[in-house]
Amino acid sequence: MLNLECKRAHNEFSVNPILFQSLLVCNIVVPFHKMCYLKTRHVLIYKIITIIYYLRVIVQCDPLTRGIKNDTENLRIQINQCPPANSAFTFPYPGEYERHYEQCIAEIAEKRKLVNPDQDLRTPEIILAYNYELVTYDEVVTEDDYILTVFRIPGGPKSPRAVGKPAVLLHHGLLTASDNWLLQYGDRNLAFKLADAGYDVWLANARGTDFSQRHNYYNPYRDGGYWQFGFHEIAIYDLPAVIDLMLNETGNKDIFYVGHSMGATIYTIALSEIPELNEKIRAGFLLAPAVHIGHAYNPLRKLTKIVGTPIQDLVYNFLKGHFNGGSNKILELMGLSPGDVCTPTALRCKLCENIMFFLYGFNAPQTNYTNLPNVMSKIKNTCSLRTVIHFAQNMISCEFRKWDYGMAGNLAAYGSFQPPNYDLHGVTAATYIFYAENDNFIPSVDIETTRDAMRPETIKGLYKIDFSLFNHLDFVVAVDADKLVYNKILELMQVYL
């Protein structure tokens, strides 16, 4: 209990760039500025609580006053966490590694001249390269003035454009963009399979990705205020704007939705926070939904130890509020892309594939080594650090809840010391969940928690991928993703036509 109180107090003294910059603006510069996160009338309450907890930190959290000398861990204020569902470092060494390395070498030798022509192309170029029709909407303005780009495939070689086609929105996950759905070869991609089956396909690009880095007032390259958003804002602002655009352009009353990872996060938030949005969803398909993630055992879980500490704020300020995964200046100066780095056999089979296995789990049988350079060139994009930190907060708390400002900030923002949980009972649209046994981001135990948090009548299907090594990224890159996942989605959609 003592450690929990210390953690709450510590949250107030870690210089949270979102909270404290807002206090600075609210309290000193322009008290009634519309961008203030905390209303002026709460500032006095904040100061009182800060003084009280400052005294308690000195008395209770200092190791000397607690009779424990030289125990710096007591200064690292801890809270309870869910235990990870597995070890974060379960590598297939040595036998299995040797086999998959030989498999990699053999496949590349056999298909040495085969290069995916999409490797250096982005979403619009890939769509046009395969003779699908492309419409670009690059002025999609959200309620909070972010400007998004959305790509549309209204028709293709097997299904020309026609009025009245059912529309489907594909939303990518964290650190990716719309080309997340175009990583496979040709018509094996979900976007093209849907277009061939007669659907009007729309590809979202969340704010902050390199396709959607504009704002009516902020410049993402100069203004830190641009990056003060997380997946909550993507859910309550981006998603409604895109869905309304789809309905206006197609004349349909509702849409299908497919979201991978964070794409599923924003679906559940949007539908729970904006009840009327449920009526605009015919059915939703969530692939590896990053909703409850408390038992994640991905190696990146180690980074949660800096959340709520001064190190977090140093990283935040150093990176200027965002992770720029969309470009690499060193490679650009050398005239190379990430895909080029992974083209040589030695690097592809020793470095690039091991990065994939290290982060997402071992699945050599479903790895297309020939396509690996193309995958590596597209699976990273730009995102706000607040998005990453929010996921880390939920991993630590074992809850699916709103942004944690710290105790005083929560009191001002929510009227309670702890941030409230998202009420998943608010999701009433027909929803299907697909998950993988080897997913180290979203283990099965967290999938069950997500299912149990929703209304039983909402969950129309819970499907475990029929391949034991299938992992988090395999939903978009696996050799048999079409057979194991996409075909089932198409089959289920037919029920609603």
pLDDT of 207 above 50: yes
Say how far residue 409 (Cα) sits from the centre of its chain. 25
Residue 449 near residue 467 (C-beta atoms within 8 A): no
- What mean pLDDT do residues 209-223 have? 95
* Lowest-pLDDT range of 19-28, 164-173, 312-321: 19-28
pLDDT in tens, 19-31: 333 333 333 333 3
pLDDT-derived band at 108 (thresholds 50, 70, 90) equals low
* Lowest-pLDDT range of 74-83, 224-233, 465-474, 475-484: 74-83
Most confident of 22-31, 47-56, 203-212: 203-212
pLDDT of 199 above 50: yes
pLDDT of 131 above 50: yes
What DSSP state is assigned to residue 152? E
φ, ψ for residue 162, nearest 5 deg: -155, 150
- The class level of CATH for 95-496 reads alpha beta
What pLDDT does residue 36 have?
38
For residue 234, what are the CA distances in angstroms to 144, 175, 196, 207, 472? 10, 13, 29, 7, 21
- Select from 153, 149, 162, 164 the least CA-distant residue to 126: 153
Of 349 and 376, the structure prediction assigns the larger pLDDT to 376
Residues 354 and 362: their CA atoms lie apart, in Å, by 9
% of the chain exceeding 90 in pLDDT: 59
131: left (phi over 0), alpha (psi -120 to 50) or beta: left
What pLDDT does residue 99 have?
64
* Lowest-pLDDT range of 205-219, 307-321, 353-367: 353-367
- Select from 236, 33, 75, 56 the least CA-distant residue to 146: 236
For residue 384, what are the CA distances in angstroms to 21, 182, 322? 16, 23, 4
Half-sphere exposure of 146 (CA within 13 A, CB side): 29
What pLDDT does residue 77 have?
38
pLDDT of 164 above 50: yes
* pTM greater than the 0.85 cutoff: no
- As a whole number, the mean pLDDT across the chain is 81
pLDDT in tens, 249-259: 999 999 999 99
pLDDT-derived band at 9 (thresholds 50, 70, 90) equals very low
pLDDT in tens, 362-394: 787 888 877 877 887 787 899 999 999 999 999
Contacts of residue 69, defined as CB under 8 A and 6 or more positions apart, other chains included, come to 63
pLDDT of 332 above 60: no
Q: 146 pairs with which residues across the strands?
A: 215
Residues 391 and 406: their CA atoms lie apart, in Å, by 15
Please give the positions annotated as active site. Answer: 261, 472
Domain-wise residue ranges, the chain: 2-74, 95-496
Structure-block tokens of residue 422: 């998202």
* Lowest-pLDDT range of 314-328, 344-358, 371-385: 344-358
What pLDDT does residue 300 have?
80
What pLDDT does residue 110 have?
63
- What mean pLDDT do residues 445-449 have? 97
pLDDT of 352 above 60: yes
φ, ψ for residue 439, nearest 5 deg: -80, 110
Residue 487 near residue 464 (C-beta atoms within 8 A): no
Of 389 and 84, the structure prediction assigns the larger pLDDT to 389
- What mean pLDDT do residues 406-419 have? 93
Of 86 and 34, the structure prediction assigns the larger pLDDT to 86
pLDDT-derived band at 32 (thresholds 50, 70, 90) equals very low
What DSSP state is assigned to residue 160? -
What pLDDT does residue 87 have?
64
pLDDT-derived band at 342 (thresholds 50, 70, 90) equals low
